[in-house]
């Protein structure tokens, strides 16, 4: 369990690129909790910008959120996850449609 978690963590860190710090914890019901924080951005209150998502699609959801952060705040930054920007936007669109009514 621990080994697979750190392996996932490394894989996610590679995808997220050099500006990200990736952490995977065990959340409720033994689900993975994916946390991606930005090494350069802070929010109000001086905390690092971060996103967390839990569950089976938590990795993808957190990575999508991070991808949007990169595009918005770090134009020109390079990260493997940016390859999937179009797919991430599509998923966001679908989620919004689904949550619409």
Task: Give the footprint of Zn ion on this chain (CB under 5 A).
Answer: 38, 41, 73
Q: Which is nearer to Zn ion, 10 or 73 (CB)?
A: 73
Q: Which residue has the tokens 């952060």?
A: 69
- Exposure b/e, 32-53, CB count within 10 A at least 16 = b: bbbbbbbeeeeeeeeeeebbbb
Nearest distance in Å: CB 39, Zn ion: 8
Q: Which is nearer to Zn ion, 16 or 61 (CB)?
A: 16
N-terminal to C-terminal alpha carbon distance within the chain: 39
Q: Which is nearer to Zn ion, 26 or 73 (CB)?
A: 73
Nearest distance in Å: CB 19, Zn ion: 6
Packing angle between helix 85-99 and helix 58-73, nearest 10 degrees?
A: 110
Nearest distance in Å: CB 22, Zn ion: 14
């Amino acid at each position: 369990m621990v080994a697979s978690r750190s392996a996932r963590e490394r894989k996610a860190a590679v995808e997220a690129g050099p500006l990200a710090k990736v952490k995977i914890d065990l959340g409720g019901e033994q689900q993975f909790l994916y946390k991606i924080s930005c090494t350069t951005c802070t929010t109000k209150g001086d905390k690092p910008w971060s996103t967390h998502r839990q569950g089976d699609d938590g990795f993808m959801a957190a990575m999508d959120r991070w991808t949007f952060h990169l595009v918005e705040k770090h134009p020109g930054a390079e990260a493997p996850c940016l390859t999937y920007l179009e797919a991430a936007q599509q998923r966001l669109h679908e989620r919004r449609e689904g949550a619409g009514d």
